[in-house]
Structure 1
């Protein structure tokens, strides 16, 4: 069923984190319903809105990192492209920032 996808450790960790976030947000919403609030984003958002926006931003960071990884290796004269763990950490930090301040 999943043979079409390359299941490396970073990919499995990334998707596991997303699943855990969705479960956690569902439980949090059931325990404490959200109120809209205004952060740095240009519209009032709920926790679910900020999670969705944060996940989209995290996906774009990861795609950009994968897309520019080979170029970065050439520009910086590296033997191999930078580790995808770097993009994972950056995307999770961005997601946390959007969830907290967005």
Structure 2
């Protein structure tokens, strides 16, 4: 069923984190309904809006990193491409920032 995708450990962890965030946000919304607020994003957002924007940013960060990993190895004279865990940690930090301050 999932043969079409390369299921490496970082990919599985990334999608597991997304699933856990969705479950957590659902429970949080049921316990404490969200209100719209204005952060540093140019629009007033709810928690769900910020999660969606943060997940989009996380996906784009990971895609850009994958696309540039070979160039990073060349630019910085690395023996091999940098670990995908770097982009995973960076994208989760950006997601947390958007959720908190956005």
TM-score tier, shorter chain, comes to over 0.9
TM-score (norm 1): 0.99
TM-score (norm 2): 0.99
Paired with 1:37 and 1:45, the residues of 2 have a C-alpha distance of 6
Alignment: residue pair count: 102
In structure 1, list runs of 5 or more residues that go unmatched: none
Paired with 2:74 and 2:50, the residues of 1 have a C-alpha distance of 36
**Cα deviation 1:28-80 (Å, max 9, x = unaligned):** 00110000000000000000000000000000100010000000101111111
**RMSD (CA atoms):** 0.4
Runs of 4+ deviating beyond 2 Å:
none
Matched position secondary structure for 1:48:
helix
Paired with 1:81 and 1:17, the residues of 2 have a C-alpha distance of 24
Paired with 1:41 and 1:70, the residues of 2 have a C-alpha distance of 32
Paired with 1:52 and 1:80, the residues of 2 have a C-alpha distance of 33
Shift of residue 101, structure 1, vs aligned partner? 0.1
